[in-house]
């Protein structure tokens, strides 16, 4: 009931089913189902749809006032129980291993009260395994790369974009390209390009090079860590975000390609068939604000 009252409260505040679904990290039909449940429970019409949003009925306004008090009391009870040392079920966080390693400060901001008191269960995986956990419903949500080519994720899950990263050309200081002031896509002709095992990441890179009519040969490796070791031995070149590079290590060069840009989007992928607890919703809101900024 508290989850449904929270949905009603958010809808009343933002005045839009679409915006409420976005804030709650769920689908619009889920919001509608919660409102229908409350209207059936209280045997009253609570919300009237308008062209420019929604309007609360008289009883809807009464419920909003009561819901705010109930939710506030619920939150105060949660904080009191946590401060008393009562054990709480850990919140399962599923995320890209790359994001967990490189955006830890944004994901677990010590200034955020929820991060101080809530026990977390952090699960870092590659894209393939994150996708599997979502499909098998082991994960309610995941912080992960967003690939347009992954039709199932695009069509079956709620996606909240968080941030974009450019994939830069990376190679060793001993590579012939290191002497070039400007690098063009044609300079990669017939070079070995090191890629991760992610088929969607490979497609992103291959499509960009195909559009430039550049012919290369690809060498598949487990992840960025293995690729960086190979690059240091001057094995070839690769594409990766700057965050994947060790700033303290100066053995690799990171450069843009003139007239070519590869962008990878990262976001919050939620399963619309699974309800998030208030703690999970609060955490999703926190990381959305932190990573989107």
What are the pLDDT digits (tens) for 32-63?
889 899 899 989 898 898 888 888 999 988 98
Q: What is the pTM of this model?
A: 0.72
Count how many domains the chain has: 2
Write out the H or E segment, with its range, that includes residue 93.
strand 91-96
How far apart CA 18 and CA 28 sit, in angstroms, is: 6
What is the pLDDT, as a whole number, of residue 202? 95
* Residue 151 lies inside a defined structural domain of this protein: no
**CA quadruple 278, 283, 286, 291: dihedral sign:** negative
Our CA angle for 124, 130, 133, nearest 5°, is: 110
* Residue 52 lies inside a defined structural domain of this protein: yes
Tokens of residue 120, six digits? 């977390």
CATH number, domain with residue 42: 1.10.10.10
* Residue 116 lies inside a defined structural domain of this protein: no
Which of helix, strand or coil describes residue 169?
strand
Together in a domain, 79 and 168: no
* Residue 203 lies inside a defined structural domain of this protein: yes
What is the pLDDT, as a whole number, of residue 116? 52
Pick from 175, 291, 178: nearest CA to 243 = 291
Pick from 103, 209, 211: nearest CA to 165 = 103
* Residue 42 lies inside a defined structural domain of this protein: yes
Where is the domain boundary, 85, 110, 142? 85
Give the DSSP letter of residue 146. Answer: E
How far apart CA 159 and CA 155 sit, in angstroms, is: 9
Where is the domain boundary, 55, 85, 115? 85
What is the pLDDT, as a whole number, of residue 83? 57
CATH number, domain with residue 241: 3.40.190.10
Q: How many residues does the chain have?
A: 293
What is the pLDDT, as a whole number, of residue 86? 46
* Residue 292 lies inside a defined structural domain of this protein: no
How far apart CA 285 and CA 23 sit, in angstroms, is: 7
The CA distances from residue 200 to 188, 204, 206, 266, in Å, are 21, 6, 10, 13
Q: According to DSSP H, which parts of 84-150 are helical?
A: 97-102, 104-107, 113-117, 127-135
* Residue 288 lies inside a defined structural domain of this protein: no
What is the pLDDT, as a whole number, of residue 293? 64
The CA distances from residue 106 to 90, 111, 216, 283, in Å, are 19, 10, 37, 11
* Residue 47 lies inside a defined structural domain of this protein: yes
Residues in the chain, pLDDT under 70: 78-89, 109-118, 247-249, 293
The residue range of the domain holding 79 is: 2-85
């Amino acid at each position: 009931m508290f989850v449904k009252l929270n949905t009603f409260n958010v809808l009343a505040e933002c005045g839009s089913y679409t915006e409420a679904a976005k804030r709650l990290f769920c689908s619009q039909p889920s919001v509608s189902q919660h409102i229908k449940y409350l209207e059936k429970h209280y045997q009253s019409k609570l919300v009237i749809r308008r062209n420019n949003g929604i309007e609360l009925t008289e009883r809807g306004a009464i419920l909003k006032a009561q819901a705010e008090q109930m939710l506030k009391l619920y939150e105060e009870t949660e904080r009191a129980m946590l401060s008393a040392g009562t054990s709480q079920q850990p919140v399962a966080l599923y995320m890209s291993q790359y994001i967990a390693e490189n955006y830890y400060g944004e994901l677990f901001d010590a200034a955020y009260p929820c991060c101080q008191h809530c026990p977390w269960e952090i699960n870092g995986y590659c894209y393939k395994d994150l996708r599997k956990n979502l499909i098998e419903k082991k994960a309610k949500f995941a912080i992960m790369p967003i690939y347009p080519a992954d039709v199932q994720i695009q069509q079956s899950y709620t996606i909240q974009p968080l941030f974009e990263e450019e994939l830069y050309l990376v190679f060793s200081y001993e590579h012939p390209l290191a002497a070039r002031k400007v690098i063009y896509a044609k300079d990669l002709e017939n070079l070995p390009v090191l890629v991760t095992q992610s088929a969607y990441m490979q497609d992103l890179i291959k499509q960009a090079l195909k559009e430039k009519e550049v012919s290369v040969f690809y060498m598949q490796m487990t992840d960025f860590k293995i690729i960086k070791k190979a690059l240091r031995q001057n094995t070839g070149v690769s594409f990766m975000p700057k965050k994947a590079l060790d700033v303290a290590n100066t053995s690799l060069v990171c450069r843009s390609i003139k007239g070519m840009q590869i962008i990878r989007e990262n976001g919050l992928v939620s399963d619309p068939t699974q309800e998030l607890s208030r703690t999970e919703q609060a955490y999703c809101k926190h990381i959305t604000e932190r990573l989107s900024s």
